[in-house]
Amino acid sequence: MSRPSPPSSIQQAREALGKRLREIRQDSGLTARALAAAAGWHESKSSRLENGKTSPSDEDIRIWTRICQAEEKAADLIATARGIDGMYVEWRRVESAGLKRVQESVLPLFERTHWFRFYQSQVIPGLLQTQDYTRAILKTVVALRDAPDDIEESVAARMARQHVLHSGGRRFAFLIEEWVLRSVIGSPSTMVNQLRHLIGMTAAPSLSLGVIPMGVVRGNAWPCESFSVYDEKQAACELVSAGLTVKQPSEIAEYAKTFTELAGIAAYGASARKLIDSAIDALG
């Protein structure tokens, strides 16, 4: 199976890094062909690096800056390249060390965030999940991606992470597509308990829960991949095979704008609870 192409945001970041490498080369007075010859590379490699077609390794950057007599720039360029690689993380790779570690890895981000915005078009957001619902999801992850089976430890880690909901000084805005309420995860009884838990969470003063009704006129608020925004510092979205982390201010602003559009068509309060109750009734 071939690896999926990286999202446009990552390609743009690679191209920006390539532009910096080109500028360093041009400032040194070298041609791309001369640099490749000095490095012992095929001449096409310089072009691929400068055009963002290939990600430079740490050693590529060290060689590039040494030949261009700009070694003082190597550390910053290496950090930039590593940051780009960290934007796109395949689930199989990150989950290979166990699902518990995945759950714990996001805790520092949650601890330092004060304003959370979550949009879910697939499942109930993790901070609002019950133990049984989480357990059912993680069992599916283990089955589909051959991840290590540390489900009970992972469930405990996700439940422990929910303490941020009650730690004070934080705001939470959740948007859920109505079809998420009607997608049976685990079993009908698991879903009923999960949906009742959702209704209980609507009473939390620091928490806003919006449900986007099926059949609503979407306007500019098209359904999309699930994503989250942490303050104005980071956004993350969930792809089928990988997770994408975005830290560029302009792209974070795009996610924030999308969230605002989606929030504008959501039902809140009694209207949201009516939609949840309807999903419960449908389960018998």
The full DSSP string for 160-193 is: HHGGGGGSSS-EEEEEEEHHHHHS--S-HHHHHH
Q: Mean pLDDT per 10-residue run, the chain (284 residues)?
A: 50 87 96 96 94 92 96 87 74 81 90 97 96 95 87 95 92 98 97 97 92 96 95 87 78 93 97 97 92
CA–CA dist 137, 147 (Å, integer): 13
Q: Which of 54, 41, 47 is nearest to 6 (CA)?
A: 54
DSSP tag of 71: G
CA distances from 202 to 5, 224, 268 (A): 39, 24, 9
The residue length of the chain stands at 284
Matching residue, tokens 């009694």: 270
Query: pTM score, two decimals?
Result: 0.75
pLDDT of residue 238: 83
Partners of 228 in beta bridges? 118, 236
Let me know if 82 is exposed, middle or buried by CB neighbors in 10 A (0-12, 13-18, 19+).
exposed
pLDDT of residue 1: 35
pLDDT of residue 9: 62
CA–CA dist 207, 165 (Å, integer): 8
Continuous H helices in 40-187: 43-50, 58-67, 74-87, 91-95, 99-105, 107-112, 131-145, 151-161, 178-182
Burial letters for 52-66: b for 16+ Cβ neighbours within 10 Å, e otherwise?
bebbbeeebbbbbbe
pLDDT of residue 84: 76
Burial letters for 217-236: b for 16+ Cβ neighbours within 10 Å, e otherwise?
eeeebeeeebbbbbeeebbb
Partners of 236 in beta bridges? 228, 245
